[in-house]
A and B are shown apart, each in its own frame.
Chain A
Amino acid sequence: MALSPVQEFFADFGELCRYMGRFFARFWRRPFEGRELLRQMDEVGSKSFLLTSVTGLAIGVVLAMQSRGTLVRFGAEAVLPSMLALSVIKEIGPVITSLVLAGRLGAGMAAEIGSMRVTEQIDALEVAALKPFHFLIVTRTLACMIMFPILTMWTDSVALIGGYAESYLASGMDYRIFISTAFETIRISDVIVDTGKTSVFGFLVGMVSCYLGFTVRGGTREVGRAAMRAVVGASLLILLTDVVIVRLSIMIFGDVGT
């Protein structure tokens, strides 16, 4: 009997949670696929480098351009670097970077693993006692968990450079003033929590995409559907989880300026 879309959603969510449990039960056990983990980190990192660089630059320049007019109207142009740094490091950098990576990696991982499923490559790993869960899911998810914060720091840095470039061209701001103003309201806990949360986003992107690819049944049409669902599912989970993390971080560390 075919499931309704609502039933299918809950069935998938339940199964996804089971896969997440399996990940935590197994990722620290043998076999350690170190070489595959490095290959996946390279796949996630180096191949997303240009994308995150362009994203960061666009964020920084656009944010600076759009904020400038408003701040000038209130005579507060001097706080532009500070506002820029807070916006980029606390929220825009981590979330936009993770969403961009979810689009690039989520679709790719779901499609790759889904293709391996329909061409029996996963069964081939299984019958050769090569533990496909470790080889395919654990490595990709760990790679995302490690590389998302690194790429986010890079995006944040490029965004601030872009913001400074815009400020320099618009008002000739000195870089020493920009740096000292930018970081005066940022706390170390902000950087750790808000960059660190992208590791959770990486976990979600890795698990959702690998799960949907791993459980593909049928033919190539289902592979395409899994890729699309991976992007949508991972993006929604990033946004929802962000709300929870921000709430928790305010409860634990207080808001900026408090």
Chain B
Amino acid sequence: MQGLTRYKLLFLLPGLLILLGIILFPLIFTIRVSFSGWDAIRPGLDWIGGTNYGRLFVDGRFWQSLSRLGAIALTSVMFEYLFGFGLALLVWHQVRFRRITRVLFLIPMMTTPVVMAVIWRTIFHESLGPANDIAGMLGLGTIPWLTHSVWATVVVILVDVWQWTPFMFLLLLAGLLSLPKEPFLAAAIDGAGPIRTFFNVTFPAMAPISVGALIIRLIEASKIMETVYVITSGGPGTSTETSSYYIFIRGLRDFQIGYAAALSVTYLVIMIVLLTIIAKILTNTLVKSGV
């Protein structure tokens, strides 16, 4: 038996080593770079200690971008969950055109984010885009979609919701389809209406899947980059600048590689801590309490 285990480990070892290399090497390298002053003038891995980390603690723009990211990610994921759940419930019981409807709902998720961002930018172009034509027809006048900080944030959230609601829809529909029929039959026999059935049966049964879907989307949403890059470039001013975009500017525009690495490592640690806390809270609230 011991020999068999040894052989199993031996066969697994190459794969494990490659996996560790792929995951760990970039991370360790990034951590090492974060302690260097690598920029356009001083290439390479010199050692400047914690200078970059000291600098980022007083870098107001980084912390602002982080809080902005939190607001954008939480808002968009919340809407994605609500819309995704709603659509999944609609399609769950619908019999006619079920297949074509499901495919149609999935189209936004299958498009290339950068290409779609370009199309959305055109739609919200304040002089030429159709969004303001429609607003004009509705008597709303010209809306400064991309040149007013609030509207620009709304556009970023809207595009993210459009793109990723299908993902939420897909996960939640799969969850709904996997639910056992018996609780619903019991609720029907007890005379529960659709609303009561939803809150007392469907939603609690879906809690574990909901938590998983929310966490996956929060992780993804916290990396939002291409939408911001293409549609607003972080503007107007810095009002839609998220952490990823800020790190991109520092690293690849300003070519402060060492500092950008320190920002990345800090961002990673913060995200791990925050998402762990959020996951814990969601699990305690939705799953363990048996909502």
A binds B: no
- Chain A residues within CB distance 8 Å of chain B: none
